[in-house]
């Protein structure tokens, strides 16, 4: 598409967005102004996505920013985007970091994954999607108890402070390796590894059947179900270890404690 045409359409869209925000102060027309603004944002994102080059990023190569691979190994990642190509790009990045990844193509699907037990450490959230948008999806995930690190991924500009504050950071489109490194640098791992020795072995009083169940749940990031199984164990040092690891979402230590026992 001709860049001059794209630029002109973008200017019109931003005028519409600006006028819609002004009209929204009128309570009688606010609901219509909101729909118009969201529609304009959707068109703006669609045009931007169609004109930018899709990044082909090898995160293993050195950029100006350094990514600590060990810090992200084994983390649970949720990618939410209605465009499968965008999901594939982010999946390739987090696969390089040895993460556990699930994806959703709508806000409703993302909520379903969390309710089914997947507890993400990091959520990559597209802003414009059919149905629930990225901001609403993030707010509802937080209300359900999701305390992940939320990265908004969007080409949209001029976001309000109320929207920006919902997320921990923003990743622009198109993004580079340094953009990604910058976004990930804000994620803080827990201090669980300083509290729990990584070579801890579960005690023999836990049956092989229960160990197999714990291993399967930990590998699949099934937070709620894993908590239920741990709560049913008899009091022991192993139970204390599992409760602490579960609380800090340290599935990696749980897996190692079973595999090495």
- Tens of pLDDT along 122-131? 999 998 888 8
Is the model's pLDDT at 6 over the cut of 90?
no
Spatial CA neighbour of 111 closest among 152, 140, 149, 68? 140
- Tens of pLDDT along 166-222? 898 888 777 776 777 778 877 876 533 343 445 688 888 899 999 999 988 887 767
The DSSP-derived string for the chain is --HHHHHHHHHHHHHHHHHHHHHTTSTTTHHHHHHHHHHHHHHHHHHHHHHSPPP---TTS--SS---HHHHTT-EEEEE-S-HHHHHHHHHHHHHTT-EEEEESSHHHHHHHHHTTB--SEEEEES--SSS-HHHHHHHHHHTT---EEEEEE---S--HHHHTTSSEEEESS--HHHHHHHHHT----SHHHHS-TT----TTS-HHHHHHHHHHHHTTBHHHHHHHHHTSPSSHHHHHHHHHHHTT-HHHHHHHHHT-
0.85 exceeded by the pTM? no
- 70's tokens: 């060990």
CATH number of 69-185: 3.40.50.2300
Q: Is 75 exposed, middle or buried (0-12, 13-18, 19+ CB in 10 A)?
A: buried
Sorting pLDDT into bands at 50, 70 and 90, what band is 58?
A: very low
């Amino acid at each position: 598409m001709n860049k001059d045409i794209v630029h002109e359409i973008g200017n019109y869209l931003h005028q519409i967005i600006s006028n819609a925000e002004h009209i929204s102060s009128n309570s009688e027309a606010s609901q219509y102004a909101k729909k118009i603004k969201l529609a304009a944002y959707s068109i703006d994102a669609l045009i931007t996505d169609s004109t930018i080059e899709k990044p082909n990023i090898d995160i293993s190569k050195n950029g100006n920013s350094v990514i600590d691979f060990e810090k992200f190994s084994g983390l649970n990642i949720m990618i939410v985007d209605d465009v499968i190509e965008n999901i594939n790009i982010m999946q390739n990045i987090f696969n390089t970091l040895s993460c556990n990844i699930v994806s959703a193509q709508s806000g409703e699907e993302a909520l379903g994954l969390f309710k089914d037990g997947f507890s993400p450490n990091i959520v990559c959230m597209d802003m414009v999607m059919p149905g629930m948008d990225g901001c609403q999806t993030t707010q509802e995930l937080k209300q359900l108890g999701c305390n992940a690190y939320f990265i908004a991924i969007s080409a949209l500009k001029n976001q309000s402070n109320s929207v920006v504050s919902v997320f921990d950071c923003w990743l622009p489109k198109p993004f580079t390796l340094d953009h990604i490194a910058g976004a990930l640098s804000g994620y803080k791992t827990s201090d669980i590894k300083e509290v729990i020795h990584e070579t801890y072995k579960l005690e023999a009083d836990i049956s092989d059947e229960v160990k197999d169940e714990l291993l399967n749940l930990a590998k699949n990031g099934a937070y709620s179900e894993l908590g239920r199984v741990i709560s049913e164990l008899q009091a022991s040092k192993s139970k204390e270890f599992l409760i602490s690891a579960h609380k800090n979402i340290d599935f990696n230590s749980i897996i190692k404690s079973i595999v090495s026992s």
